[in-house]
Amino acid sequence: MSSLHTINKSTAHCAMTSCMKALQSGDSILLIEDGVYASAQLSQYNIEGVSIYALREDLLARGLPTTQLPGAIQAVSYCDFVDLVCRHQRCVSWT
């Protein structure tokens, strides 16, 4: 019963820390909009069994790298976003 968690705020907001508290193994995180700024901090968390993605367009827009991202964060396209939504039972959007 996995969830896809989207985060759309930088770490100045508590969206990321709140999301961290609500995770379960098997869940995924997708960073979108200003959430992509959280990729460095997010990689410091060692979250067992949780895959982390960042939306490529939002990374590019902000001058952030899309390859060799910190941790095991993977840049994904909008199509992958749709695919992720379909592969999880529900979406939780942390704003």
Partner 1 sequence: MSIDNAKTITFISRSTPYGHGRAKACLDMVLSAAVFEQKINFIFMDDGVWQLKKGQTPSNIDAKDLSAAFAALPLYEVNDLYVEASAIEERGLSLDELVVPAQAIESAKIAELISLSDVVFTL
φ, ψ (nearest 5 deg) of residue 64: -100, 150
The one among 12, 22, 61, 72 contacting partner 1 by CB under 8 A? 22
Q: According to the binding rule CB under 8 A, does residue 86 interact with partner 1? A: no
Q: Does 47 bind partner 1 (CB under 8 A)?
A: no
C-alpha pair distances (Å), 52 with each of 17, 69? 14, 11
Considering only 21, 48, 79, 86, the residue that binds partner 1 (CB under 8 A) is 21
Q: Toward partner 1, which CB reaches closer, 18 or 74? A: 18
Contact 58, 36 (CB under 8 A): yes
Q: Find tokens 């994904």 and name the residue.
A: 76
**Is 12 a binder of partner 1 (CB under 8 A)?**
no
Considering only 22-30, 47-55, 64-72, 74-82, which stretch makes contact with partner 1 by CB under 8 A?
Answer: 22-30
Answer for the pair 3, 24: CB distance below 8 angstroms, yes or no: yes
DSSP 8-43: -S-TTSSHHHHHHHT--TT-EEEE-GGGGGGHHHHH
Q: Which is nearer to partner 1, 6 or 39 (CB)?
A: 6
Q: Give the residues lining the site for partner 1 (CB under 8 A).
A: 1-3, 14, 18, 21-24, 90-95
